[in-house]
Amino acid sequence: MMLNPRYDETAQFLRQRGFDRATAGLILGTGFGRFVDHLTVDALLPYPQIPHFPVSTVPDHAGNLVCGRLQGLRLLIMQGRFHRYEGYPPSAVTFPVGVMHRLGITTLIVTNAAGGLNPGFVPGDLMVVDDHLVLMGGSALTGLEDEVPRSIPSYSRRLNDMAFALAAADRMPLRRGVLAWMLGPAFETPAEIAMLGRAGADAVTMSTIPEVAMASALGMQVMGISCIANMCVGADRPPVTHEDVMATVGRAVDRFSDLMRRMLPMVCGQPPQKGDRFSG
């Protein structure tokens, strides 16, 4: 499996530039970029300078790969990601995760901005992802059948439980639920929102699921954290803009960073354990 030599070529390139010895990876979604301010940065490269990384057609969307330390713990961070709605195939969207795997990373935290479907949520809430829904008529890893083992994507029960224990000890509110994936880039229609709610989703996003599916197939322990940027249900639903999403998530980043600062030292370097998965 993972016969494609591009993963190794990129991993080798990054190792030579100081992107080595990280134990956990983080993918920072819309509005989460400021998490990097909490790190001591050891290495940083814009995506266009990394071999085989997808080429961005939208200048604004260019991101950085960052290797940095949080309390002495080395992390590999994607500051910005690639979305299917930008036209990238699953192989491109998930490529950085394959590279992280090759760099020895065993724990991946994937973040995103999401619309709230659970009426008990409010904007700014952080939601730990227990499971996800793909309703787009295809697999998150279409085209990668020869490269990664076939498996049911799953989220680490151990990481999720730990997040809740730490949040409770801090009296930090934390939600949990099922995340639905929609292609975007338009926000959902009222009929789609009604469907997603009936299907059992608590939140909806345009990202995350491909990277989670890839990491999970490669045997990494995976955690998903959504920030509820706006509510899709309820009486008061003003039109949402990208700027609104950025602002609301931006206010939750310090809470997210506190959680990571306390949690990552407890989980890093430990391989996934038996029984550590929500079954599909």
**Nearest-approach distance from CB 206 to ligand HPA, in angstroms:** 5
**Nearest-approach distance from CB 230 to ligand HPA, in angstroms:** 5
Question: By C-beta, is 193 or 218 nearer to ligand HPA?
Answer: 193
**Nearest-approach distance from CB 148 to ligand HPA, in angstroms:** 26
Structure tokens at 267: 């989980």
Strand pairing report for 175-181 and 126-134: parallel
Question: By C-beta, is 244 or 258 nearer to ligand HPA?
Answer: 244
Cα-based angle 254, 259, 263 (whole degrees, multiple of 5)? 150
CA atoms within 13 A on the CB side of 176: 14
Dihedral sign for Cα 20, 156, 85, 204, please.
negative
Question: By C-beta, is 149 or 200 nearer to ligand HPA?
Answer: 200
* CB distance 36 to 66 below 8 Å: yes
**Nearest-approach distance from CB 61 to ligand HPA, in angstroms:** 15
Residues 223-262, interacting with ligand HPA (CB under 6 A): 229-230, 232, 245
C-alpha gyration radius of the chain: 17
Candidates 65-73, 92-100, 153-161, 201-209; binding stretch for ligand HPA (CB under 6 A)? 201-209
**Nearest-approach distance from CB 85 to ligand HPA, in angstroms:** 10
* CB distance 110 to 24 below 8 Å: no
Question: By C-beta, is 148 or 182 nearer to ligand HPA?
Answer: 182
**Nearest-approach distance from CB 127 to ligand HPA, in angstroms:** 12
Give CA separation, 129 vs 19, 176, 273, in Å.
Answer: 28, 6, 19
Candidates 19-27, 73-81, 138-146, 202-210; binding stretch for ligand HPA (CB under 6 A)? 202-210
206 counts as binding ligand HPA under rule CB under 6 A? yes
Q: Which residue has the tokens 């029984």?
A: 275
Dihedral sign for Cα 131, 245, 60, 23, please.
negative
Residues 91-120, interacting with ligand HPA (CB under 6 A): 113-115
Close Cβ partners of 164 (under 8 Å, ≥ 6 residues apart): 128, 174, 176
CA distance 49 to 254: 29
127 counts as binding ligand HPA under rule CB under 6 A? no
Cβ-closest position to ligand HPA: 115
Question: By C-beta, is 13 or 187 nearer to ligand HPA?
Answer: 187
User: How many chain residues touch ligand HPA (CB under 6 A)?
Assistant: 13
Intra-chain end-to-end CA distance of the chain, in Å: 22
187 counts as binding ligand HPA under rule CB under 6 A? yes
Q: Site residues (CB under 6 A) for ligand HPA?
A: 113-115, 182, 187-188, 204-206, 229-230, 232, 245
